[in-house]
Structure 1
Amino acid sequence: NETEISLINKESVRLKHLQNNFNISFSIQDYSLNERVEYAYMLKGLENSWYTVKDPNNVTFRNLPPGKYEFMIKTRIRNQEWSDEISAIEIIIAPPLWLSWWAKLLYVIIGIGLLFIGLWAYKRKLNLEYLYESEKKSHEQEQELNDERLRFYTNITHELRTPLTLILGPLEDLVKSNTLSSKDHHRISVIHQSAVRLLNLINQILDFRKTETQNKRLCVTKGNLTNTVYEVGLKYKELNSKSDIQILIEAEEENMFLFFDKEIITMILDNLISNALKYTDKGYIRIRAEWVTENGIRYAQLSVEDTGYGIGKEALAHIFERYYQESGEHQASGTGIGLALVKNLVKLHEGDIQVKSLPDVGTTFYLRLLAENTYPQALHGEDMHTEKQDAKEEDSTLKLEAIEPDKNARPIILVVEDNADIRDYIADSFTDLYEIKTAANGKEGLQIATDCIPDIIVSDIMMPVMNGIIMCQKLKSDIRTSHIPVILLTAKDSITDKEEGYQAGADSYLTKPFSAGLLQSRISNLLTQRRLLSERFAIRPDKPKKQSMEEKRAIITESMNKLDKEFLDKITNTITEGLAAAENIDITVLSNVMCMSSSTLYRKVKALTGMSTNEYIRKIKMQLAEKYLLEGKYSISEIAFKVGINSNVYFRQCFKEEFGMSASDYLKQLTGKSIDEKVDE
């Protein structure tokens, strides 16, 4: 739409922001001069230059931005000077609404507001970061403090296990003794029970440390949960000394089969039941096992309910925190880690624990385990074969007959222990049965072991200079000492620690504190096993069998470790190859081949075969003689010569000692033919 505005007698004109395209027409009042007049204009505010206008007498402006302009125009008669008289009019183009002054003011206010908000948010962010860092640092310091506290507890408990060995060991010996009066026996029993309680407290701290550092591993087997509940419950039922408290054991089913770690479940129940007994004066403690289903998921639920003092509402949220103990008139003494240990064990077992309690009414703890959980990441029963073997051995204390040591050549036991008291205790306990040698660390023990080749080694693990694990590895990798049974002693009894010991080649594992009787059982068992193995070499066959030397030796050595088998194979091959080359084979030759002294070779061969080196050489000669005899190509004299025996009489004597009959009878029983008949063929 076009709009005309008269500018006559006006000093200014105001246009809207959309009226920024316009045309200005101008003329002089004397129309007679209209054809002779020239015009020049300038739009001040847009350009500060004069422009001459030719016909027609108007000028057009397009798309002028909002603002204030001054249109100026002057005239002249053609070819004359420009007039000094200038006509001017002010043109104002209003800005759009969003560019008006009050809109700009609003923008400024908003900008300032946003700036303040930004500064406030930035300051808040800095404060939050500072609080987060402070909280993180505080948490780290708290964690470091707790770790340091736990490390301190762990080190103290490890140190306590050593004197506990010297307390519990002799106490157990005294309890089993028949020389005490009934009064003294009762006193010793009280002391022994207190020492056992102290050991249980130490074990609890160690178990808590293991769960805190993720060193405790879950080992599940599929078993009857009801049996475990009854085992634990009946133990407390029998030991309950409070006549006003009744211990009830209930199970929904006699057989509740699922995968679970019996040790962990027992520890959880032990803590919950002992807590219940501690805070209950009268009433009952009910231990219950049942199946529950929630949201379509089936659980095995264990509950421990008591009618004790109960737990306050404020304390209920903190009872599973470590070192937390509710302050109150009924608070009993303790470490404050029992329920924290329970929480960690439940988490390790992938279960859930809840508690309900009312003051002066009672408390109930509920433990739930998934019924169908197979724990694929955990150790399973078959992985614990070694530990089970140890457990069986521990339960069968002194069932195997102790080896009756030869008065002239008693078995040598090497005791490697940095604690002089423990070392002396073991030495004093066995000095009547065995020849005892001692060492204060692994390096010294390794040197003594290679020098004297003991029959068995009892070693601590944590020692200066060289620990027991490294010493065991070196012993088992040295052909001179690889056959020696090693019993490791330690205060660390986790599955991981035991695995480390067995991987190092240990034959048995004993946890401190231990009794002399249990150690004697382990030593006797291992020496008996070694004796039975060596006796297999000396077994005389009931009747001749068509077996090669290699087959016989393979059967006998199948249970030996790799190094010992290689040792015997090398000795046997050296003897057979030497005899085949008509060489004289004796101890000196074998010592040079095996790079051992004659005494070391003797003790090694004796330990593995139960025979002296000369006896073993003779045995191999007789086995070769048997081979030549069965081939049927040689006479007695030829066979004797081929096995390095020049005397036929001595050969017949040796053959009869080895096989229980003469060579001709042996062959006749096996083939039905005499040696002369075989030779004639």
Structure 2
Amino acid sequence: MSFAFDPQGTAFAGSFGGGVWHKTINETTFKPFILSNNEAVQQTIVMDFAFAAERVWVATLRELFELSKSGEIVRTIAKSELINQGNIYGVMTLDSGNMLLATSNGLIKLDKTSLKQTLLNPADKNAPGCDDGMMDLTQDANNVIWYVSQALCSYDPTTGIVKSVSSHPLFVAGMTAIIALPDGRIVGQDGKIAIYDPKDNSVKTITAANGHFIDDSTQNFGAMALIDDQLVVALSKGLLWLDLTKAIPEELSQNPLFIKKLMVMNKPRAIVGSSLQSPLVFPYDEKVAFLDFEQVDFFNQHITHQVEMPSIIDTPLVLDRLNGFAIPTATEGAHQIKVFSSKDDKIINSLDFNIEVKPPYWRTPLAYALYVFSLLLTMFVIYSLRVKAIKRDNRRLESLVGQRTKELNISLQDKQRMFENISHEFRTPLTVIIGNTEALLKGEHNKRVGVVHNQSIRLLSLVEQLLKLAELKATKKAVQTVNLREFIPIQVNSLSSLCEQYGVTLQLTDTTKLPTVEIIDDSIMLIITNLVGNAIKYADRGTQIAISVDVCDNKLSFKVINQAESFDTEISKERFVRLDKSENRSENINTSGNGIGLAIMQEIANLNHGIFDINAKQGLVTAQIALSIKVVEQPTPSIPLEHSSELDCTNLTLATVMVVEDNPELREFITGILIEHFDVIACEDGAEALKQLQTTESLPDLVLTDVVMPNLNGLLLTQAIKNNDELRAIPVVILSAKDDLPTVKEGYQSLADDYITKPFNSDLLLSKLTNLISTLRAMKEKTLMSLLVAKVKPKTELETKIVEALEVNYSQEAFSVHLLAEHLAMSAKTLNRRLLSIYGLPFNQLLRDYRLEKAKDMLCADLSAKEVTFNCGFSSQAYFGQCFKAKFDISPALYKQQQ
């Protein structure tokens, strides 16, 4: 990238990959110019050097380093500390006290002692094209500084005057390197070379038209130097030595193509001559041969090379530079290889030769005979051993079949009894449904329809329990970690609305000393749902249900006691047959018992290597389950449920969820689940939530609400949100313990987006909220893109007015949210809330994105960056460049150049 000599003749070189190297006059090779404290210099692109007494100044893209002669960093000036904050491309010693810096945003004079900075090329109507950035600078014999910005410019240090000298197109396009020749001419290069003569203000060029070795690439970073009256130009593909006093030849004769070196398994092999009469022979163990070809090309012509190896690979290899290629030699036999050199689709050189790969010893005829003999011997031995094993297994299986047959008969008898009881439970609601249907035919409508409806719901519940039982028996469950101290009281309290429905209360023993345990997935949830839920349904009104939980010796004991005077049980403790209810409880047909819930509890006990027991005595029903668990020594704090599944919430950055729950413990529990993935706003009831929604500046992305709450319940809150023009776009999810069909139906009729019942699974809750928010954001992004690119007609009258106002006023710098709000006859706060609801962006960000999309079109239309800045309403060109770079990750100038 750069090289220079200090006053003592020491050569310094900077590489593109990073690093500073130096070599004194008496040394033959370069060595790293590095000490322990300046590794930063070695890890960036070194652009230029300057020298002072006992100092070396190194310019990199983002820093200027002042180094001692021994390589120690003395001072560092970062790009952000420059007055124009541009990339540093060049550095030069101006005089004993000052340096010059060539940056992407202008020319800076730097005081060596105080580091005071002065911008030398501000905007000047007398020096057009000299107020922008530059890549390099040079000084002629008269001490005048020359550089290329958007023109060839000169700066006289004695007068401080900047002049625009030449606006030749090559100078306007910019130069990566510039040098002053002894005769006063100025040479610049950026893949093409321009030579300015101040005597007659003429510009001579060397391009692809008159110098076919010139590289037209736009990625030429390099330098130039004058050595022995010849100009040395560093291009991206090599060095060019030019005698400017002589004409450049138009064409040279081609050089022959020959094999330079042959490497086999990293070992050299001798090659005689450029053609090969006999094939190259490779033993089987030489897997890869590397052939290095060479064709001298003085002028860096664009020559392509093609290698054909049809018996090894189907597709020929096409190489831009022929500096060697590998030949896989694993394929046995003879192979022909052809190498062609082409220019402008015309073959100018070729080379043919053959290779032969010998087979390995394990693929000789003798080896194959040994293989066959070994295979036959192995098959005989395996057959003999297998016959003995089969006879032994037959004797063992005969004994096992007898034992399993006896166990199967017992199991079939148990299953037959269980399904007899389940069939009885199915027949009961079906009988009621059929009888009431017959009554409907006779005209007894109202009461009969209600009975049919209730029995249908009960039948559905029985089917769901059967499916759950089948899942427990068929699915292998994973182990989850549960914080019993927090999880049990919160899940039990979530059934409070169910207790109000049946007129009972819950009393839970102290759980503060319960540990965190490992247990089969969903076990605790099913225990609470079945034992506690059924106890609530079957208990006498006005009674209290006692719940106790204890952990001792890696055993979890969960006991539920409720008062049910009408509850009469005759239970087989081995098979848990159906519960029978007495006649005076039969009017509440929704509480009819069955053996499915008991079977589920028994299956949970089996999965966790525990026991389940239930009994009733004198109206007091006691259900108890004991499970084997593993106590976690250091429980995971405040995360009671498993999080084994990975949720993709990365795309919901800054998403906000409002949680509305009147139970403090449950509200804190839900907040703890969501806080890892969302910003959470917690409210005690619907009234508080509605007040915040109506007054806050920024709206949440989703509302999660309970149903039964004081002041304003969840259904009325949902209706209030959906009936408000500013709030209706917010998704609402109802979370309630009421799972009966009328309540769920009423929730959806209030326009809720989803309905989740308690107890709930945290992963399922997170997945549903994530999907709802992702869908809403995708809709807003689609609406925003239709606004920015103007490809879709606005859907509403408000969107049409917004689009029209932006199109008319975006070029006005004074255009603001207050002006648009006044035009739309609403307050600025209301307008911002409506914009967030429609596009997901406030006014300022929406206006900036709209202006930037217009700026892209104007840049493609060949307008300058300055014209685009003021046509799009930006306050300054620098601010426009920062916004454009932040939005599209490319500068306006580079974007325009690419277009």
TM-score range normalised by the length of the shorter chain: 0.3 to 0.5
Between structure 1 and structure 2, the one with the greater Rg is 1
Structure having the higher helix fraction is: 1
Structure having the higher strand fraction is: 2
Q: Which TM-score applies when normalising by structure 1?
A: 0.37
Q: Which TM-score applies when normalising by structure 2?
A: 0.29
Instruction: Report which structure shows greater RCO (CA 8 Å, sep ≥6).
Output: 1
